[in-house]
């Protein structure tokens, strides 16, 4: 194998591969990236941890000799990061990968690529096209709400649901729920209801770049495949039944208030300064024309933040985890208006910045 290509192109690809490759795996070969050079198809980089996989075709590569090998992902990434020349040459020599550029020469021990996991290819038929920027926005608005603790396995992923002309992404950990929905310009041609892990979706978000254009989605043997340009992201589907969530989402209500996303985020950030791990809660005091956010931890002190709002209704006191609300505000447009609706201190609160997004959060009992 001998290939010459732009250093930045290689660095970007190896960075994506290193983010996927397993760490401290019982199968050491999974800690590497596979480089496959072919005179016809060019250079491809592959990585997988068996749950998530990636294949990147590097069209800019000039293949002088075909070949394939696997090299440790972190080692290769650390070397390529230090290269400051515009182009780099990769070559296989006696079971090692040599990296030559300018006055620098590196040699990394590798393995035969025949022992690497065989990743699937995107099918010729059955794929669905989606606007990349739309999907990225929906991913960012939901993936953070997946469960992190051990428990119901289905809650560790995002429900990916296409039905007719609608695309819906839903995530919940049992204490909050995020739902993003969009109407598609074209009928996708097939329905899809699967649970996708957050690592695969976050990787897809990362590889889309600044202008993702149109991407393709397909199902293949308990895996979902996303194709963006010359990059294929593969994610193993999560088994289980996603909980029935429709009845959990409160209906839109006239009881609530609106304010700028940036204003609520700033107020929560200030109030959170005087919370602790054991006292992760804030009190929302909702009254005529004012929202008062209070936090109190006996060992550190207390805070009170007043924010003007438009509200007509009886006074209310509600308790929430400020971190849960802040995470939702981070994925909203800072200059938009967020509407916060509620019923009482025991019912979930409902946040939304438009018809295509709703965030539900369970309250915390106030002392």
The whole-angstrom separation of Cα 257 and Cα 353 is 12
Asked if 173 and 146 count as a contact pair (C-beta separation under 8 A), the reply is: yes
Residue 367 has pLDDT above 80, yes or no: no
The whole-angstrom separation of Cα 337 and Cα 352 is 9
How many other CB atoms are there within 10 angstroms of residue 186's CB atom?
Answer: 10
- pLDDT at residue number 254: 85
Which of helix, strand or coil describes residue 339?
Answer: strand
Residue 50 has pLDDT above 70, yes or no: yes
How many other CB atoms are there within 10 angstroms of residue 298's CB atom?
Answer: 9
Residue 92 has pLDDT above 90, yes or no: yes
The whole-angstrom separation of Cα 354 and Cα 338 is 8
Looking at every residue in the chain, the average pLDDT score rounds to: 92
At 235-278, the pLDDT tens digits run: 999 998 999 999 889 988 888 999 999 999 999 999 999 888 87
Dihedral of the alpha carbons of 251, 254, 256, 260, in degrees to the nearest 10: 100
> 279: which strand partners?
276
- pLDDT at residue number 54: 98
At 185-236, the pLDDT tens digits run: 877 767 889 999 999 999 999 999 878 889 999 998 899 999 999 999 999 9
**pTM for the structure as a whole:** 0.92
- pLDDT at residue number 279: 75
**Where do the DSSP E strands lie in 138-189?**
158-163, 166-172, 176-183
- Domains defined along the chain, listed by start: 2-115 (3.10.150.10), 128-246 (3.10.150.10), 249-361 (3.10.150.10)
Lowest mean pLDDT among 59-68, 150-159, 223-232, 301-310: 150-159
- pLDDT at residue number 271: 93
């Amino acid at each position: 194998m001998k290939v010459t290509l732009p250093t930045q192109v290689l660095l970007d690809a190896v960075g994506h591969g290193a983010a996927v490759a397993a760490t401290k795996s019982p199968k050491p070969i999974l800690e590497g990236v596979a480089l496959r050079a072919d005179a016809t198809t060019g250079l491809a980089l592959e990585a997988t941890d068996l749950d998530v996989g990636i294949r990147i075709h590097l069209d800019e590569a000039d293949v002088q000799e075909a070949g394939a090998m696997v090299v440790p992902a972190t080692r290769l990434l650390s070397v390529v990061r230090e290269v400051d020349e515009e182009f780099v040459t990769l070559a296989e020599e006696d079971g090692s990968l040599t990296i030559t550029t300018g006055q620098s020469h590196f040699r990394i021990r590798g393995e035969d690529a025949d022992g690497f996991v065989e990743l699937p290819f995107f099918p010729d038929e059955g794929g669905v096209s989606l606007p990349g920027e739309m999907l990225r926005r929906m991913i960012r608005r939901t993936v953070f709400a997946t469960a992190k603790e051990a428990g119901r396995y289905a809650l560790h992923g995002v429900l990916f649901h296409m039905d007719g002309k609608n695309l819906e992404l839903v995530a919940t950990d049992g204490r909050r729920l995020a739902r993003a929905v969009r109407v598609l310009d074209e009928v996708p041609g097939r329905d899809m209801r699967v649970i996708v892990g957050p690592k695969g979706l976050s990787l897809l978000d990362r590889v889309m770049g600044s202008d993702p254009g149109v991407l393709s989605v397909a199902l293949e043997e308990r895996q979902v495949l996303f194709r963006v340009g010359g990059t294929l992201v593969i994610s193993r589907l999560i088994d289980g039944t996603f909980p029935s969530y429709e009845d959990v989402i409160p209906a839109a209500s006239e009881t609530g208030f609106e304010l700028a996303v940036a204003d609520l985020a700033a107020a929560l950030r200030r109030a959170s300064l005087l919370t602790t791990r054991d006292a992760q809660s804030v009190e929302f005091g909702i009254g005529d024309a004012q929202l008062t956010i209070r936090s109190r931890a006996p060992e550190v002190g207390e805070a009170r933040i007043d924010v003007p709002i438009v509200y007509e209704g009886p006074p209310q006191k509600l308790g929430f985890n400020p971190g849960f609300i802040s995470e939702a505000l981070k994925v909203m447009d800072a200059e938009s208006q967020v509407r916060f609706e509620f019923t009482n201190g025991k019912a979930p609160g409902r946040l939304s910045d438009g018809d295509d997004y709703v965030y539900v959060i369970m309250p915390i009992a106030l002392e």
